[in-house]
């Protein structure tokens, strides 16, 4: 079933690509996979002006592609949502990789270089960024920040009629449709572009698989003769965790021809004929197993990220946790131990919001940092 969908997807891709001759595979996607530096985004909220064309400016600041910019401008709330999705994915990526050698540094140069390759980390970036976008969009819809959400039929009056007659679909459906259009429709000639596309789709699929359906009975005297269900997304933390697991079991796919030509054929190490058949459906891996549609794919092995390189600034000076990850992070170079006194809040009494009562305690803390 899923494979069938995928097959159709690929076919339509090819057709659209031939028709539109879309920008080449090196064009960045969006968010963590876009080529704009993330530092331009202030983390706190922008002035929210829904009047006029203020949101046009915001859309322009995001450095989107032509089509993406058009989609962004269509809704005054979109730019803000896009921005939030970037922040969300970035924070989640850093959270998930806080104990790893690659700590999801999003500094422009390193990230850009990773994106140009086909590492596991690249796969994760693509997946988390599409997942974040889907999640943020669905959330923005339910917060009422968007103008055109669930009932996204063309003319306005029709929408209202549709809503009065039979309600609309749920936010998640809209978000999924939007993200597919926003990130999709790209050349799939090149192996790397296809892997990237696949990983982008994995992000959306993980969100989809995590949708929970909850129901409420409200018939006569609250009986279950009438029951209404709704769908809910998992918290983004959970999504991040699931994607991290996918990252760890990422699947390697190989290429038999010169990558520079950009026309790589996928090699499985198995018979060519079989590969021809499978090629349209999924990207077969090196091993005998065939990656499922939910697996992340990578093309090449990741660098060690130990020393400063094109891809990261290395682990020298990184804080680590003794007996936990110091050996792994410091790449066997050992670590420095620094002992210092830290005065900080402790034994805090927290109320649900906005008020914390803490004592000030002074503690001795050992800080471990990797040797250079």
Partner 1 sequence: MAGAIIENMSTKKLVIVGVTLLLFQALAFMVGGLIAPSPTTSVNYMATKCVDASKHREDTKWFMPWGPNLCDKIRSFDEAMAKRIEANNIVFAVHIPMQNMEMSPWFQFMLVILQFDIAFKMHNQIEEGAVVTVDVGLAYRDDMFSEWKEMVHSVEQRKLHCNLSLPKTYENEGRYYDCDHLPFMELGSVAHKYYLLNIRLPVNERKKVNVGIGEIKDIRLISIHQNGGFTKVWFAMKTFLTPSILIIMIWYWRRITLMTRPPVLLEKVIFALGISMTFINMPVEWFSVGFNWTWMLLFGDIRQGIFYSMLLSFWIIFCGEHLMDQTERNRFSVYWKQVGPIVFGSFCLFIFDMCERGVQLTNPFYSIWASDVGTELAMSFIIVAGICACLYFLFLCFMVFQVFRNISGKRTSLPAMSKARRLHYEGLIFRFKFLMLVTLLCAAMTVIFFIISQVNEGHWHWGDHTVQVSSAFFTGIYGMWNLYVFAIMFLYAPSHKRYGDEQSSGQCITGDAGANSGEDIQLTTTITHVDGPTEIYKMSGKEAQE
- Which stretches of the chain bind partner 1, using CB under 8 A? 44-45, 48, 50, 139, 141-151, 156, 159-160, 163-168, 170-171, 214, 216, 218, 220-222, 224-230, 232, 235, 237-238, 347-356
* Cβ-based nearer residue to partner 1, 114 or 141: 141
Shortest distance in whole angstroms from residue 335 CB to partner 1 = 21
From the list 54, 103, 90, the residue with the least C-alpha distance to 75 is 54
The span from the CA of 91 to the CA of 88, in Å, is 5
* Cβ-based nearer residue to partner 1, 132 or 264: 132
CA 308 vs. chain centroid, Å, equals 25
The span from the CA of 298 to the CA of 120, in Å, is 5
* Cβ-based nearer residue to partner 1, 18 or 163: 163
Degrees to nearest 5, angle at CA 252 with 251 and 257 = 150
* Cβ-based nearer residue to partner 1, 213 or 273: 213
Strand order in the sheet with 356-370: 319-320, 356-370, 335-350
Q: Which helix (H) or strand (E) holds 79?
A: helix 78-96
Shortest distance in whole angstroms from residue 136 CB to partner 1 = 12
* Cβ-based nearer residue to partner 1, 127 or 149: 149
Shortest distance in whole angstroms from residue 323 CB to partner 1 = 15
Give one DSSP letter per residue of 178-189, joined into a string: HHHHHH-----S
From the list 197, 140, 207, 217, the residue with the least C-alpha distance to 171 is 140
Shortest distance in whole angstroms from residue 352 CB to partner 1 = 5
Shortest distance in whole angstroms from residue 13 CB to partner 1 = 24
Shortest distance in whole angstroms from residue 329 CB to partner 1 = 17
* Cβ-based nearer residue to partner 1, 51 or 260: 51
Q: Which two tokens stand for residue 51?
A: 């009047």
């Amino acid at each position: 079933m899923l494979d069938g969908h995928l097959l159709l997807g690929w076919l339509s891709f090819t057709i659209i690509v031939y028709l539109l001759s879309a920008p080449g595979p090196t064009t960045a996607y969006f968010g963590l996979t876009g080529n704009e530096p993330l530092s331009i985004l202030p983390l706190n909220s922008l002035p929210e002006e829904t009047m006029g064309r203020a949101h046009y400016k915001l859309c322009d600041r995001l450095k989107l592609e032509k089509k993406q910019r058009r989609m962004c401008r269509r809704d005054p709330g979109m730019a803000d949502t896009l921005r939030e999705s970037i922040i969300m994915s970035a924070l989640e990526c850093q959270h998930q990789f806080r104990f790893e050698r690659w700590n999801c540094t999003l500094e422009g140069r390193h990230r850009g270089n990773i994106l140009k390759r086909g590492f596991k980390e690249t796969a994760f970036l693509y997946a988390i960024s599409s997942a974040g976008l889907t999640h943020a969009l669905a959330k923005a819809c339910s917060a009422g920040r968007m103008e055109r959400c669930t009932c996204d039929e063309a003319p306005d009056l029709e929408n209202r009629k549709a809503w009065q007659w039979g309600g609309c679909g749920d936010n998640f459906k809209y978000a999924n449709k939007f993200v597919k259009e926003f990130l999709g429709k790209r050349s799939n000639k090149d192996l790397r572009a296809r892997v990237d596309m696949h990983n982008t789709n994995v992000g959306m699929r993980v969100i989809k698989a995590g949708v929970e359906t909850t129901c409420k009975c409200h018939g006569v005297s609250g009986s279950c003769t009438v029951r209404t269900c709704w769908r809910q997304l998992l918290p983004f933390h959970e999504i991040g965790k699931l994607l991290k697991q996918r990252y760890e079991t990422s699947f390697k796919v190989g290429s038999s021809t010169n990558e520079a030509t950009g026309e790589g054929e996928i090699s499985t190490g198995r018979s060519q004929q079989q590969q021809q058949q499978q090629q349209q459906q999924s990207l077969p891996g090196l091993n005998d197993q065939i990656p499922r549609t939910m697996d992340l794919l990578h093309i090449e092995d990741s660098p060690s990220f130990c020393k400063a390189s094109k891809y990261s600034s290395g682990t020298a000076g990184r804080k680590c946790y003794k007996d936990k990850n110091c050996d792994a992070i410091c790449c066997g170079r050992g670590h420095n131990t620094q002992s210092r006194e830290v005065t900080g809040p402790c034994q805090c009494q927290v109320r649900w919001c906005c008020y914390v009562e803490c004592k000030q305690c002074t503690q001795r803390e050992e800080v471990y940092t990797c040797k250079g």
